[in-house]
Chain A
Amino acid sequence: MTLPIVTVVAVLLVETSTPGAGAKAEVTLTETDLAHSIGKELRCPVCQGMPIAESPSQMAQDMMTRVHQMLAEGKSRQEIFDYFVERYGEWVLLAPKPTGMNLTLWLLPAAALLIGLLLVWRFARKRQGAAPVPEAKPAAADATLEAIRDEVNE
């Protein structure tokens, strides 16, 4: 949320300070944001699970340069992802596509939640059904008292 607000403020500042150059500045800022958002979804191949937008490594910076170049060439977000997937496989995507075995990543948490809710529901039902149990206690106590009485009487 903060980033778009900062962008809008930056664009307004540039537009008011340099008349005529506003449109150009707006395009540049938008492209930078877009490149950053794409870079945040691409895994750096020489780091430990870091996106290329946040890695200080030279390779990640070179990959970010490639993203900027492709945007300047008019390539879409999807075309840029496809370019990197063609070279590094789906491994390069920090959020893999929800297809095939990857589906387990999306379905497993939902399935675990469902199973958990079912178990809680079953447990609650069992407890409700077992509620009248305390009534049995006086009967047991009575039986014990009767046994003691019999013993004393003897």
Chain B
Amino acid sequence: MNWKNVTIVALISIPLLVILALGFGLDPRAVPSVLPGKAAPECTLRAIGGESRALSSFRGRPVVLNFWASWCVPCEAEHLLLQDAARAYGERVQFLGVVYQDEEENARRYLAQKTSTYPQMMDPASRCAIDYGVAGVPETFFIDAAGTVAAKEVGPVNPAGLSRTLGQMLARGMP
């Protein structure tokens, strides 16, 4: 066996195989979370059947900003969890729903069936969704009282994660 040739082939192929193995382990559709740790982008939302309001006007306590849609199946179970959480945290945390890529009438009908305990907003031309780098629903952003994005959850939030993140944000207190 020509060991010199074997070494050359190994030197070329092993790094390529390592790069391929690392690449196949990644999800090419997964959008990275770049906002946590940064100031929450400001955007204007319109309440369903109501007036426009700046996101910053909800500041002063932790904000849970949840992007959802009536056509989104995983959003359904999450909606119930968020309603329960909003009732449990009361005035300490501001929950906010943002309708993503959906008609206002569909959202209104959906909420009429399921009830909502916190403000639900429309996002004309997806301005706010783009500002927050949303790539699908559900996506939830946890904004602390000082207006910094503390965490981002892609997919439905789970009860343990929700109480842990909110617990940490409340422990940090007011700005």
Q: Which of B19, B28, B29, B34 contacts A87 (CB 8 A)?
A: B34
- A62, B19: Cβ atoms closer than 8 Å: no
The binding surface of chain A is classed by DSSP as helix
Q: What residues on A are CB-neighbors of B130 within 8 Å?
A: 62-63, 66, 87
- B133, A88: Cβ atoms closer than 8 Å: yes
- B29, A115: Cβ atoms closer than 8 Å: no
- A62, B125: Cβ atoms closer than 8 Å: yes
CA distance A63 to B126 in the complex (A): 8
Q: Is A102 an interface residue (CB 8 A)?
A: no
* B29-47 interface (Cβ within 8 A of A): 29, 31-35, 38, 41
Number of interface residues of A (CB under 8 A): 18
Q: Which of B31, B41, B125 contacts A88 (CB 8 A)?
A: B31
Q: What residues on A are CB-neighbors of B12 within 8 Å?
A: 115
Q: Is A91 an interface residue (CB 8 A)?
A: yes
Q: Is A22 an interface residue (CB 8 A)?
A: no
**Per-position binary interface string of chain A over residues 40-51, scored 1 when its CB falls under 8 Å from any chain B CB and 0 otherwise:** 000001101100
Chain A residues packing against B (C-beta within 8 Å): 45-46, 48-49, 58-59, 62-63, 65-66, 86-89, 91-92, 104, 115
